[in-house]
Structure formats: C-alpha cells, structure tokens
Structure 1
Amino acid sequence: MSLGQELAPHLPFLRRYARALTGSQQHGDAFVRATLETIVASPEEFPREVDPRLGLYRTFHAIWSSANIEEGEEPTMDLAGAEGIAQARLSRITPLSRQALLLTSLEGFSSEDAAYLISASPDDVDSLVAEAMSEIERQTHADVLIIEDEPIIAMDIESIVRDLGHNVTGVAVTRDEAVAQARKSPPGLVLADIQLADDSSGIDAVKDILAEFSVPVIFITAFPERLLTGTRPEPTFLITKPFQRSTVKAAISQALFFDAATVPAA
C-alpha cells in the first residue's frame, strides 16, 4: 500500500482538527494542503516509526509550528497569497494548551501520542489540558441554541452547556423551529444535529440562521464523513456521535475563542 493510500482515511479528520485549531475552514485547509505538499515533496522524511495517522498529524504540527508567531510579530511562514490567510489570523494562533485539549478531546489521542505531536512530555500534556479547561471555566458566557431532535441527547448537550456557565435559549427539533427560535432570541453559538425530527436538515437550518446572524456553529453528527468530503462548504467545528462531554466542552470553547477574537477591542 502506498503512503498516499495509508494517509487517505485520516485526511478528513485532519481537516476537522485543522479547522478547529484555526477557527476557519479556509485557513485550516490551507495548513492541511501545506502538510500534504511537504509529504509529497519529501516522502522519505515522513515519520515511519509511528502509525500513519500519528505521522500525518506530526507533519502537520511541524508546518503549524513554523507559522506560530507571537502577537505583533511577522509570520515565519507565508501561507497568505493564494490561500488568503491574513496576518491578523496568524497572530491569534491557538495556544499550546488548546492544541493539547483538541488533540486529546476532539481527536482522541492519548496523552503520550499528543506529547509526541507537540514535542512535550505526557505530564506536560496533562497540565496543558488542565490549563485549557480552567480557561474554559473563565470564558465569557454565551447564549446557545441547540438544534437536536433526540430528547436524551438534547438534554445531555444542554447539561454540558449549562455546566460551562452558558445560557440555553432553546432546543429546536425542526428547521422551522430552529429559525424561529433564533429570530426570537439571537444566539451567540449554535449546536446543530444534521437529521431533524420532520426529516428537515440541520444544515439547512444553520444556513437560514447564518443568512440573518453572524454566529459560530458546531455540528454534531454520527456520520462526520458526510460533511468532510471536500466537495462542498464544510463546517469549521464538527463533533462525532457518540461524543464525550470533554469533546463538546473543547469545541464550544474553541468556537467562542475565535468568535471573541474577531471582535475588535472597545
């Protein structure tokens, strides 16, 4: 089996991770593209001492680290131009603590594997995750709309949202209900399933809401590959069912982190 064939099954999930890390489909995909170009240019340098998925994410993190800059500095890697990545976005590169949290919570890596990916020790990873979770607890509260037709799942998500200190404005089970609730109480975050109670689409509900409001969205689905085909606009934040509470917390935190980062200071 060729290296490309080994890596292909892992690419949709690397795109998911990259988007969660950057807060943008465009920017995340640009980093993934740069990763693949690096592998194609020097396949002999691909880490073969680990499994292909770990090697793929390791290569991605090497590209990511080369672009990681402090506020006010110039980017050390030019991903602008054709990719359209602005310096303003690069200057808000996700902190290491959030990388550790996303790798373990969203992507399911062990502390040992995450340590390999970010060049740290497993104990460092555990400390970074704890730091990120503490940051989540301090985060500004948001009004959250949940679009989910399974009552038990909706209750679980609502519990997670409230545990984080956010307010749930409503739980909608159809497209029309979701749009109506968004108009009644404009949300600061939307958590959406794809298949809804009346066979309407959560994707269509989100499109309707985004036509009227600028709000971050997290999709929750049992079939993430259906939204990670690379053939149409894809979500920046995507959670796979069944989910862990820590995964939802990490995604909410990251979505709000970038949403707040785009608001100019008063």
Structure 2
Amino acid sequence: MSTSTRMAPLLPQLRRFARALTGTQAAGDAYAVATLEAIVAGPGVLADDIDLRAALFRVFLKIWTSVPINHEAGRESDDTTTEMPTRHLGAMTPLPRVAFLLHAVEGFDRDQIATILDRPVAEIQALIERAGREIAAEISTDVLIIEDEQLIAIDLEALVEDLGHRVTRIARTHAEAVAAIAEKAPGLVLADIQLADGSSGLEAVNEILLHVQVPVIFITAFPERLLTGQRPEPAFLITKPFQPDTVKAIISQALFFGQNARIPNKASPAA
C-alpha cells in the first residue's frame, strides 16, 4: 500500500487539528496543503521510523512553527463561525496550545507528543499542565465534588484549586449533593458513584442535571459498570486510583469543550 493511500484516512483528522490550531478552516487547510506538498516534494520528510499519523502531524507542526507569527500568543480568530471553545485558544500560549490539542483533541499520549514536537516527555507534561492553568484563567469556575472518602475529596480539592478553580462544596451523599446545587449552581461536577450512606452518585448527578446543564466527570473504581458499550456513556470518566495529572487534564478538557454529561439510563448504581 502506498504512503498516499495510507495517509488518506488521516487527512480529515489533520484538517480538524489544523482548524482548531489556526482558528479557521481556510488557514488550517493552507497548512495542511503545505504539509502534503512538502511530503510529495521530499519523501524523506515523512519519518518512517514512527507511527504514520504521528509522522504526518510532525511534518505539519514543523511547517506551522516555521512561521514566526505562530509563536505569538493572544491572537484571536476572526472566524465568527468558530465555536466558543476554539476561540478560547487564541488567548493561550502557542506551544501549550499545541500540546493540549494533540492530547485532548487528537488523543496522542505524552510519548507520542514528545516525538511529534522533538521535546522531552517531561517538558510535554509541563506544557499540558500549563495549558490547563491557562484554560482555567479563561474559564475559571465553581466545582462541586461528590465524594464520600475524605482523603480522596481533599486530593481532588487540591487539584481543582491548583488549576485555578474554586470548590464550593464537598458532598458525601445524594441529599448533600442536591442541596449543594440549590445553594449555588456549579460550573463542573466531580462525582463518585457509590456514596457514604449507600446512596448513588449517579442518581444524584441525574437529579442535578434536571436543574442545571453542567459538565460532569465521574470518578469510580469500577468503570466497567458505566462503560457498558451501550450508548449513551459518560463523556468523562476517571478510574480509581487516579493519577493527579490525569484528573487535571480531564478537568481542563471538560471545561474547555463544554461537554455535558451523558449518562447511561440503566447504569448500575453500585459502581
């Protein structure tokens, strides 16, 4: 199979990334075309010792970073059709923006991003964390934590506040969670599934969503009880025990893309 044939299914993904990075489809497509022209002009441009998709994005970003204006932060898109989350990108520093999009939108892991950007993995981690802080500066919000284990709740509170958000309440039961949103509607919910009094965090979230549409991140030791393979499924799910970096990244994604929870109608409340 030729390289061009193998690349064909990857081009829509490259265009998606290019639009998000540049702010307009026209600008994104111009860089995508330049990428393909560079590959055709010099076959050696496309590294053959790494995954083809990573190699394609690597060429694209070498071209994009070669343009001096792309190193400037704070440039807003003039595309009025661009969705709000994409417009927030204009306020982000360029390299953290690139790392965030590669990770959050395209699903590359940190090792792959390090290869794409020719930078150490530790630096990629720092860039993603910086992106999280910059996103929080743009979209700082109030967070409700529904978690009955005190130490875990304290850890989550610290992670949330480290990103620049505010924890308004830590609820240990279904009743406390519902009462909390009556006092103040949050901009994000972090929810365990099985709570202290035997009540269900899942049911609490379902009740909350009757009153306010808000992104929800589920945190559970039994993800298989939510990931059933049937739709809908939760948009954001973290497995216990969790890594702090994972929690921070998913908080930033949930707020940046503004996705509301999608919850299985028949998920087990015992998760």
DSSP 3-state at the match of 1:191? strand
- Unaligned stretches of 5+ in structure 1? 1-43, 47-58, 77-86, 261-266
Instruction: Please give the residue correspondences for 1:107-256 in structure 2 after superposition, counting only pairs within 5 Å.
Output: 109=109, 111-116=110-115, 119-123=116-120, 125=124, 128-129=127-128, 131-136=130-135, 138-256=137-255
Find the aligned partners of 2:161 and 2:243 in 1 and give their Cα distance.
16
Per-residue deviation at 1:45? 5.2
DSSP 3-state at the match of 1:92? helix
* Corresponding position of 2:25: 73
Find runs of 4+ consecutive structure 1 residues off by over 4 angstroms.
59-63, 87-91, 100-103
Overall identity of the aligned pairs, in %: 47
Per-residue deviation at 1:133? 4.1
Find the aligned partners of 2:166 and 2:85 in 1 and give their Cα distance.
30
Judge conservation of contact 1:148–1:172 (CA < 8 Å) in 2. Answer: yes
* Corresponding position of 1:96: 98
Post-superposition Cα deviations, 1:210-258, rounded to whole Å, max 9, x if no partner, equal 1100111111112223222221321111112111222111111122212
- Unaligned stretches of 5+ in structure 2? 30-80, 90-96, 260-271
Find the aligned partners of 1:164 and 1:131 in 2 and give their Cα distance.
9
Find the aligned partners of 1:203 and 1:98 in 2 and give their Cα distance.
29
Per-residue deviation at 1:198? 2.2
Shift of the 184–89 alpha-carbon distance from structure 1 to 2, 3 Å rule, reads same
* Corresponding position of 1:29: none
Judge conservation of contact 1:147–1:202 (CA < 8 Å) in 2. Answer: yes
Find the aligned partners of 1:163 and 1:236 in 2 and give their Cα distance.
23
Shift of the 137–206 alpha-carbon distance from structure 1 to 2, 3 Å rule, reads closer
Find the aligned partners of 1:254 and 1:236 in 2 and give their Cα distance.
10
DSSP 3-state at the match of 2:86? coil
Judge conservation of contact 1:112–1:122 (CA < 8 Å) in 2. Answer: no
Judge conservation of contact 2:219–2:240 (CA < 8 Å) in 1. Answer: yes
Find the aligned partners of 1:181 and 1:154 in 2 and give their Cα distance.
15
Per-residue deviation at 1:127? 6.4
Shift of the 244–102 alpha-carbon distance from structure 1 to 2, 3 Å rule, reads farther
Post-superposition Cα deviations, 1:117-136, rounded to whole Å, max 9, x if no partner, equal xx332347456435424424
Cα RMSD, aligned residues only? 3.6
Judge conservation of contact 1:145–1:187 (CA < 8 Å) in 2. Answer: yes
Find the aligned partners of 1:61 and 1:90 in 2 and give their Cα distance.
25
Find the aligned partners of 1:149 and 1:91 in 2 and give their Cα distance.
32
Shift of the 148–189 alpha-carbon distance from structure 1 to 2, 3 Å rule, reads same
Q: Which structure: larger Rg?
A: 2
